[in-house]
Structure formats: structure tokens, C-alpha cells
Amino acid sequence: MTTPNKEKKSEFLVNIYFDELTHNQKIAILMFYSIIAEHDSDPDTLRYKTDFINHYFQELGVTQYQFEAYVTLGGREQMIKDIKSLDKYNFTHLVWSTTEMGEYGKGMPDSLYRILAELVNELGIDFDTWTDFLDKSEEMKWGDE
């Protein structure tokens, strides 16, 4: 993976998006982004997504080795479990940052919406609930059930 260029780096607001994540939650977020990005076939937007993810790797302090070990040992099932363990604040920011990454450039293509909807379903919520976090995050009750 390449290092993001300096002019884009300021656009990725990792430190205000996420707070007090466990190591597994950090890697789960990176895996979540990566699954979505791998379904992007546009070279221009894929380059942005790659820069976006690489910047998160750096800011979250996760190495490629740690990421690969997590994927190998726990995989998608562990990712879902770790994302479900996010508090409301961090989950809301996952929604916002995923949307920022996905809609860069020409908007989110259908292929990315499909994989995002699949991931959201695996989290046990419907897509409307996911998008509600963008509009009404203060009213949502993630993890309070």
C-alpha cells in the first residue's frame, strides 16, 4: 500500500472521528473499509479509497502484518463482532467516514451500495437504520438494547 499524499492527508479526520478504540476495533474498521473499496472498479476513486485506508492504517497505528493476522484468524465474522462492539459515537463516525470514502468523486456506485448493504445486514441492522445515523445520530440507540 502507498502512503497518501500530503494534500489529501488533511481531509481524513481520523482523530476526531474515532475515540478510545480497542486494537481489534481499529482493525475491524480498516477491514470494513477494505471490503467496500475492493468492489470499486473506477481507478480514480479506487486511488482515493486506497489513500484513505492507508491514512487510517497510519493514524490508527495498525501494521499490514497485524491486519493480515486479524483477517486470517478472525475474518469477517470477527470484524462484524468487533464493529458491533463500537459505542454509539464510534459507530456513528464509522457510518460517516464510510460514506465519505464511498461517495468520493462520482458518488457511490451500485456495486458499493450492494456490498455496504450486505455488511450492514450482517451487523444486524437494516440499511435505513444505517443511513439514519447520517441524519439523526443523536436519536439512535446503538448498543442500548
DSSP secondary structure string for all residues of the chain: -PPPPHHHHTT--HHHH--S--HHHHHHHHHHHHHHHTT---HHHHHHHHHHHHHHHHHHT--HHHHHHHHHHTHHHHHHHHHHTS-HHHHHHHHHHHHHHHTTTT---HHHHHHHHHHHHHTT--HHHHHHHHHHGGG--TT--
Over residues 82-93, the mean pLDDT reads 91
Whether the pLDDT of residue 4 is over 90: the answer is no
Whether the pLDDT of residue 43 is over 70: the answer is yes
Residue 144: its pLDDT value, please? Answer: 46
CATH 1.10.3680.10 fits 20-139, yes or no: yes
- The percent of residues above 70 in pLDDT, for the chain, comes to 79
Residue 66: its pLDDT value, please? Answer: 97
Where is average pLDDT lowest: 43-47, 80-84, 91-95? 43-47
Domain boundaries, the chain: 20-139
Residue 18: its pLDDT value, please? Answer: 74
Whether the pLDDT of residue 1 is over 50: the answer is no
